[in-house]
Amino acid sequence: MPDEAGRPCVAIVDYGLGNLFSVAQACRHVGLDSTVTSAPDDLWRADGVILPGIGAFGHAMRTLDRLGLRSTLIEVAAAGKPVVGICLGFQLLFSESCEFGTHAGLGIVDGVVDNLRDAAPAAATGRMLKVPHVGWHGIHRSSTGRSDDGWAGTLLAGIPDGAPMYFVHSFYARPARDTATLATARFGELAYCCAIQVGDVFGCQFHPERSGADGLRLYGNFARRLGVKAAAQSLPW
């Protein structure tokens, strides 16, 4: 719920596997109050939820179960509360991952998470591509299931096609429905889904809080979605 100053508050989910400080700083920059929490009730009280993450899928899901957060995340998303998944948190939104075995995810978005090494094992030169996939890479509008207005009305609104974002990952998501894919990036010859938006659920494989002005623009769009008008007007874009 909004704080005493009328600012929406975001719950940043703490399950021991996220760059929580950077996410909280990005929220503050765009005028959002945030609370870093592992308490299920805090997710219900918040106006929006951010699920960050860095690490292994199976361990993350076991930790969410132990904290009672798996069912809460599924329920708040089903209730229409805006949810943003970042990096591992983006992958956790999906049905299943093959990382170190087969693990069920949250199932908020239909699809699976696969190994980049299996998807694009070699470059055109015949040499193995480096995994993890680390560094700045451009994101591009999906060619399927999206209207000609590109990213208008989404959390990527105002971000130019091809804008570089910062990635660190070894696995990638494959949504079951093309219409879920909002943006793609490339790993060798593979164009893979790097951002989705399904209703009020958004996820991105890259780290917007580490991606400069365009990454902060994503947080600004989230703030606008939650009703931060005054803060949004003061942003440098």
Chain centroid to CA 155: how far? 10
Both ends of the chain: CA-CA distance in Å? Answer: 27
CB of 141 closer than 8 Å to CB of 150? yes
CB of 165 closer than 8 Å to CB of 183? no
The answer to whether residue 87 is catalytic is yes
DSSP state of 122: B
The answer to whether residue 59 is catalytic is no
Give SS3 for 29.
helix
Whose tokens are 């003061």? That residue is 234
Q: Which of 103, 133, 137, 207 is catalytic?
A: 207
Give φ, ψ of 105 to 5 degrees.
Answer: -100, -160
Q: How many CB atoms lie within 10 A of CB 223?
A: 23
Q: Which of 87, 193, 194, 204 is catalytic?
A: 87
Whose tokens are 């069912």? That residue is 71
Whose tokens are 């007007």? That residue is 233
> How far is the C-alpha of 39 from the C-alpha of 72, rounded, in Å?
10
The answer to whether residue 189 is catalytic is no
> How far is the C-alpha of 230 from the C-alpha of 194, rounded, in Å?
30
Please name the helix (run of DSSP H) or strand (run of DSSP E) that holds residue 113, with its range, or none: strand 109-115
Catalytic positions are 87, 207, 209
